[in-house]
Chains A and B, each alone.
Chain A
Amino acid sequence: MIRAVIVMNTQGKPRLLKFYEFQPPEKQQELTRSVFAGQGALLSGRPDNVSNFVEADAIFGPVIFSSLLFVSFVAEITKKKKQEEFKEGTRLVYKHLATLYFVFVFDSCENELAMLDLIQVLVETLDRCFKNVCELDIVFNFNKMHTILDEIIFGGQVLETSSERVLKAVEEISRLEKSSSSVSFVPKSVSGRFGR
Chain B
Amino acid sequence: MEQLKTIGRELAMGSQGGGWTGQSKEFLDLVKSIGEARSKAEEDRIILREIESLRRRIAEPDVPRRRMKEYIIRLVYAEMLGHDASFGYIHAVKMTHDDSLSLKRTGYLAVTLFLSDDHDLIILIVNTIQKDLRSDNYLIVCAALTAACKLINEETIPAVLPQVVDLLAHPKEAVRKKAVMALHRFYQRSPASVSHLISNFRKRLCDNDPGVMGATLCPLFDLITADVNSYKDLVISFVSILKQVAERRLPKAYDYHQMAAPFIQIKLLKILALLGSGDKQASGHIYNVLGDIFRKCESSSNIGNAVLYECICCVSSIYPNAKLLDAAAESTSKFLKACLLFSESHNLKYLGIDALGRLIKINPDVAEEHQLAVIDCLEDPDDTLKRKTFELLYKMTKSTNVEVIVDRMIDYMISINDNHYKTEIASRCVELAEQFAPSNQWFIQFSVSNNFTFQTMNKVFEHAGDLVNVRVAHNLMRLIAEGFGEDDEGADSQLRSSAVNSYLRILGEPKLPSLFLQVICWVLGEYGTADGKYSASYIIGKLCDVTEAHLCNDTVKAYAISAIMKICAFEIAAGRKVEMLPECQSLIDELSASHSTDLQQRAYELQALLCLHSQAVESVIPLDASCEDIEVDRNLSFLDSFVQQSIEKGARPYIPEIERSGMFSVSNYTSQHQHETSSHTLRFEAYELPKPSPTPAAPQISVSTRTTDLVPVPETTYYTENNQASKLQPVLDASSADHGIKLHLVGVQKKWGRPTYSASSSTTSSSEKKTNGVTHLDGVSLQSQGTLYDSKGQQSEKQKLAASLFGASAGKTEKKPTSTQRAPKANTATAERPGVARAVSPEISKQKAASSPPPDLLDLGEPISTTTPTIDPFEQLEGLIGPTPGPSTLDNSVTTSEQKAPDLMALYTDTPPSSSSSISSGLGDLHSADKNSPMAKNVPSIKKGPNPQDSLQKDATARHVGVTPTGNNPNLFRDLLG
* Interface set of A (CB-CB < 8 Å, partner B): 1, 9-11, 13-14, 16-18, 20, 22, 24-26, 28-29, 39-40, 46-55, 57-58, 63, 65-66, 69-70, 72-73, 76-77, 95-99, 109, 111-114, 116-117, 120, 124, 127-128, 130-137, 139-143, 146-147, 150, 154-162, 164-165, 169, 172-173, 176-178, 180-181, 183-184, 188, 191-192, 195-196
Contact = CB atoms under 8 A, between A and B. Distances in A.
Contacts of B303: 113-114, 117
Most buried by A among B109, B302, B384, B963: B384
Nearest to B217: A157
B420 A63 contact: yes
A43 B579 CA distance: 61
B904 A127 contact: yes
Given A127-B904, A135-B976, A117 B346 contact: no
A99 B976 CA distance: 9
Given A155-B149, A196-B140, A17 B381 contact: no
6 contacts: A22-B117, A26-B82, A109-B270, A142-B77, A159-B181, A184-B99
Interface string B211-249: 100010010010001000000000000000000000000
Contacts of A172: 139
B381 A47 contact: yes
Most buried by A among B65, B257, B263, B382: B263
Given A133-B18, A135-B973, A169-B174, A184 B424 contact: no
A127 B904 CA distance: 10
Interface stretch (B411-419, B649-657, B677-685, B944-952): B411-419
A161 B84 CA distance: 34
Nearest to A121: B256
B423 A113 contact: no
B382 A51 contact: yes
Contacts of A10: 3
Contacts of A72: 471
Interface in B320-349: 343-344, 346-347, 349
B28 interface: yes
Contact of B418 (A40, A117, A120, A159): A40
Contacts of B80: 14, 16-17, 28, 142
Contacts of B966: 48, 96-97
Contacts of B188: 1
B65 to A, nearest CB: 6
B65 A184 contact: yes
Interface in B55-103: 65-66, 73, 76-77, 79-84, 99-103
B105 interface: yes
B777 to A, nearest CB: 26
Contacts of A114: 262-263, 266, 303, 306
B146 A150 contact: yes
A194 to B, nearest CB: 9
Contact of B347 (A25, A52, A57, A143): A52
Closest 3 CB pairs of A and B: A58-B420, A113-B306, A51-B346
Contacts of A29: 82
A58 B423 CA distance: 11
Chain B interface size range: 35 or more
Contact of A69 (B106, B423, B435, B890): B423
Contact of B100 (A76, A137, A141, A191): A191
A127 B890 CA distance: 29
B254 interface: yes
Contacts of B471: 72-73
A51 B178 contact: no
Given A49-B344, A134-B973, A57 B420 contact: yes
A24 B116 contact: yes
Interface string B565-594: 000000000000000000000000000000
B150 interface: yes
Interface of B: 1, 3, 7, 10, 17-20, 23, 27-28, 31, 35, 65-66, 73, 76-77, 79-84, 99-103, 105-106, 109, 113, 115-117, 135-137, 139-140, 146, 149-150, 174, 177-178, 181-182, 184-185, 188, 211, 215, 218, 221, 225, 253-254, 256-257, 262-263, 266, 270, 302-303, 305-306, 309-310, 343-344, 346-347, 349-351, 380-385, 387, 416-421, 423-424, 427, 431, 434-435, 468-469, 471, 475, 890, 904-905, 908, 963-967, 971-977
A116 B100 contact: no
Contact of B417 (A39, A49, A196): A39
B12 to A, nearest CB: 13
Contacts, number: 274
Given A25-B79, A50-B381, A165-B253, A58 B973 contact: no
Contacts of A127: 904-905, 972
B302 A117 contact: yes
A140 B139 CA distance: 23
A147 B142 CA distance: 11
Contacts of A51: 346-347, 349-350, 382, 384-385
Contacts of A25: 79, 82-84
Given A39-B419, A97-B972, A130-B18, A143 B106 contact: yes
Majority SS at the chain A contact face:
mixed
Contact of B908 (A111, A124, A135, A169): A124
A191 B17 CA distance: 33
A154 B182 CA distance: 8
A155 B302 contact: no
Nearest to B254: A162
B423 A66 contact: yes
B834 to A, nearest CB: 42
Contacts of B77: 142
B426 to A, nearest CB: 9
B31 A157 contact: no
Contact of B263 (A98, A131, A161, A169): A161
A53 B961 CA distance: 19
A139 B105 CA distance: 19
A73 B102 contact: no
A65 B270 contact: no
A3 B419 CA distance: 23
Contact of B256 (A39, A117, A133, A177): A117
B347 A113 contact: yes
Contact of B266 (A111, A136, A165, A169): A111
A153 to B, nearest CB: 10
A140 B310 CA distance: 38
A133 B76 CA distance: 21
Contacts of A150: 146
Given A53-B384, A69-B423, A180-B102, A132 B972 contact: yes
Given A77-B435, A157-B184, 15 more contacts: A1-B188, A16-B80, A50-B381, A51-B350, A53-B350, A73-B431, A111-B310, A134-B974, A140-B28, A143-B106, A147-B105, A155-B182, A177-B100, A181-B101, A196-B135
A73 B973 contact: no
Contact of A132 (B82, B84, B975): B975
B387 A176 contact: no
A57 to B, nearest CB: 7
A136 B266 CA distance: 35
A114 B309 CA distance: 10
B139 A137 contact: no
B150 A155 contact: yes
A113 B351 contact: yes
A158 B263 contact: yes
B417 A40 contact: yes
A40 to B, nearest CB: 3
A181 B101 CA distance: 7
A145 to B, nearest CB: 11
B66 A58 contact: no
B18 A131 contact: yes
Contacts of B383: 40, 46, 50, 54
Contacts of A183: 100
Given A25-B84, A73-B471, A54 B384 contact: yes
